Amino acid sequence: MPQKERWGHPYPDTRDWSIYNERLVRRGEFYLSLDFLAQWDDLLARMNAGKRGRPFQYPEPFIAWMACIHVFLQMPYRQMEGFVRKLATFIPGFTVADYTTLFRRIQRLDLSLTVTPELLAGDVIIAADSTGIKVTNRGEWLREKWRVRRGWIKLHAMIDVETNQVLGLEVTDESVQDDRMFVPLLDQVPQHCGEEHPVFRVLGDGAYDRNELFNALEQRKILAGIKTRVDAATHSTGSPYRAECVRDRNRLGGYRLWAWITTYGMRWKIEGNFSSIKRIFGEGVRATSREGMFCEIRMKVNAYNVLMAMVA
């Protein structure tokens, strides 16, 4: 069957390619963003003020930058020491950090989400979903031959569909269902948006079609853009708000018009986010311990948020 008959007319590409190309080029500037060098001494003085024991030798922004290098370039810690050693030959007074120090300091970094609320719209529309992250690079043939199954990690997230910033993040193993992480993610979003950027609507697929999730949205006065089942009850079975949403969908004549009014089609933005994170940082993790894997994923998402703020 010809592609036109199946999918209709192709989506018109109206993007400004000069702006789009410039945003991609600016991403490369992030690798050598050495703004912290000008404040090196001041930062260390503040960190060591009143500190007991051995003083810090490297400021926190430098460690955060090295963590980004670690996840962006997928560089092992010993290679990172060589990277800094060579960089020091071009920058007078730059102190070389050994790989042990880098490992310990990076593991102790504050991994809470880095969000730029100034870029958010007045009424924020967020999308919720999850994706799997591989914990090993072993091929399918080896897994099939030796019956070795290590599972995967699940990355649960809520994003702003306008700026693509991740506003809520939870990392679990594969056994945790998506709906169980919905409320914890929703609780994180106002902390990063602030009072000036209230959440207007939440978009989610059928995995979030649960009474308690609709009730949580109603309590927070947030509109639901969650896809309900085709045969969902129109009377209250534990959530009057869900029943109201189902009646509204039926009143509109079904899914197509409901999706247009609720902007449900924007939910694809979170799928694009997951794809971008995996293409930039890889589909798996290099860490071997459970805690290390979770930390590595949080570092990647934080670096992605910083990247989105740079190209906004």
Which DSSP symbol is given to 100?
A: H
CA 193 and chain centroid, separation = 15
| Pair type for strands 199-204 and 124-134 | parallel
d(CA 258, CA 256): 5
For residue 1, name the pLDDT band (cuts at 50, 70, 90).
very low
What predicted TM-score, i.e. pTM, was given to this entire model?
0.87
What is the amino acid identity at position 217? L
> What are the pLDDT digits (tens) for 222-267?
999 999 999 888 888 889 999 999 999 999 988 899 999 999 999 9
d(CA 268, CA 8): 19
d(CA 64, CA 50): 23
Q: How many CB atoms lie within 10 A of CB 98?
A: 13
* Range of lowest pLDDT (125-139, 173-187, 202-216): 125-139
Which DSSP symbol is given to 284?
A: B
Structure tokens at 160: 């702003």
| pLDDT given at position 24 | 82
> Domain spans of the chain?
17-107, 117-285
- The answer on pLDDT for 212 being more than 80 is yes
**pLDDT mean over 280-301:** 89
> What are the pLDDT digits (tens) for 127-154?
999 999 988 766 666 667 777 666 789 9
- The answer on pLDDT for 217 being more than 80 is yes
- The answer on pLDDT for 82 being more than 50 is yes
Structure tokens at 153: 């990690």
Long-range Cβ contact pairs of 119-123 (< 8 A, separation 24 or more): 119/163, 119/165, 119/309, 119/312, 120/160, 120/162, 120/163, 120/165, 120/193, 120/197, 121/160, 121/162, 121/197, 122/196, 122/197, 123/197, 123/198, 123/199, 123/200, 123/201
| Pair type for strands 152-160 and 166-173 | antiparallel
d(CA 215, CA 218): 5
d(CA 111, CA 299): 7
* CATH (one of 3.30.70, 3.30.420, 2.30.29, 3.40.50) for 117-285: 3.30.420
Contact indicator for 292, 298 with CB cutoff of 8 Å: no
d(CA 283, CA 136): 9
Closest to 158 in 3D by CA, of 38, 296, 273, 44: 273
